[in-house]
A and B are shown apart, each in its own frame.
Chain A
Amino acid sequence: QKEVEQNSGPLSVPEGAIASLNCTYSDRVSQSFFWYRQYSGKSPELIMSIYSNGDKEDGRFTAQLNKASQYVSLLIRDSQPSDSATYLCAVNILNQAGTALIFGKGTTLSVSS
């Protein structure tokens, strides 16, 4: 059974702080890794994708991947109240015919002003 694990939180940080979100996955052949943001009652919105070991930065967001440890993280710098949402880690299980995203349960982030 392929699993993606996340701490459900809530993770509470003050405005302007760094929020650190973590994710582990069970399938060593996973190819691609994604962070989605989901506001309550809304659909997942893509934030970042990462494919190779190391860091990838996009604005205030940095994704980190360590395939040996089967670990993905997302750092949000200068957190804003509008960043308050559930952050979903998703792993792409690629096979010959297509692909499926396996999601974690998500980490709820609360940024207080």
Chain B
Amino acid sequence: EPEVTQTPSHQVTQMGQEVILRCVPISNHLYFYWYRQILGQKVEFLVSFYNNEISEKSEIFDDQFSVERPDGSNFTLKIRSTKLEDSAMYFCASSVSTDTQYFGPGTRLTVL
């Protein structure tokens, strides 16, 4: 069964450094998303992406975040200058339409 994949599974970085989190959505899906979950808290929407552009973003998704679909398979989330409070699990999700979303296994980001 097709699934969303994410790399790396765990990323450790120093505060102020740039990180890129990578996702490969399910191949026939057209909508892509990033969510984050701070330890012990709820899953929070960051951004949705369709037709090579951002379709919606939350207040969390400020200027330090960006997303890109650099080729036909990858979908990336870049955090330009990481802060301690960016430490969280980051989940990529994809969907065929504006409906059921399937989540990847997540990347645990630790900012020191």
Say whether A60 faces chain B, with CB atoms less than 8 Å apart.
no
The answer to whether the Cβ of B44 comes within 8 Å of any Cβ in the partner chain is yes
Within B57-112, which residues are at the interface with A (CB < 8 Å)?
Answer: 58, 89, 91, 93, 95, 98-106
Q: How far is the CA of A2 from the CA of B64 in the complex (A)?
A: 24
Residue B41 interfacial (CB < 8 Å): yes
Interface size on B, residues (CB 8 A): 26
Q: Which residues of B contact A104 (CB under 8 A)?
A: 42
At the interface with chain B, which of A43-51, A62-70, A74-82? A43-51
Within the assembled complex, what's the spacing in Å between the Cα atoms of A42 and B89?
A: 9
Complex-state Cα separation, A32 to B104, whole angstroms: 21
**CA distance in complex: A95, B55 (Å):** 9
A49-98 at interface with B (beta carbon < 8 Å): 49, 88, 90, 92, 94-95, 97-98
CA A49 to CA B43, docked complex, whole Å: 18
- Chain A interface residue count, Cβ-Cβ cutoff 8 angstroms: 24
- Does A105 contact B98, Cβ atoms closer than 8 Å? no
Q: Is the CB of B103 within 8 A of A43?
A: yes
In whole Å, how far is B82's beta carbon from the nearest beta carbon of chain A? 21
> Given A103-B42, A105-B41, A105-B42, are A43 and B104 neighbors across the interface (CB < 8 Å)?
yes
A103 pairs with B44, CB closer than 8 A: yes
B18, CB-defined interface residue at 8 Å: no
User: Contact residues of B with A, CB < 8 Å?
Assistant: 31, 33, 35, 41-45, 48, 50, 55-56, 58, 89, 91, 93, 95, 98-106
- A residues at B contact (CB < 8 Å): 32, 34, 36, 42-46, 49, 88, 90, 92, 94-95, 97-106
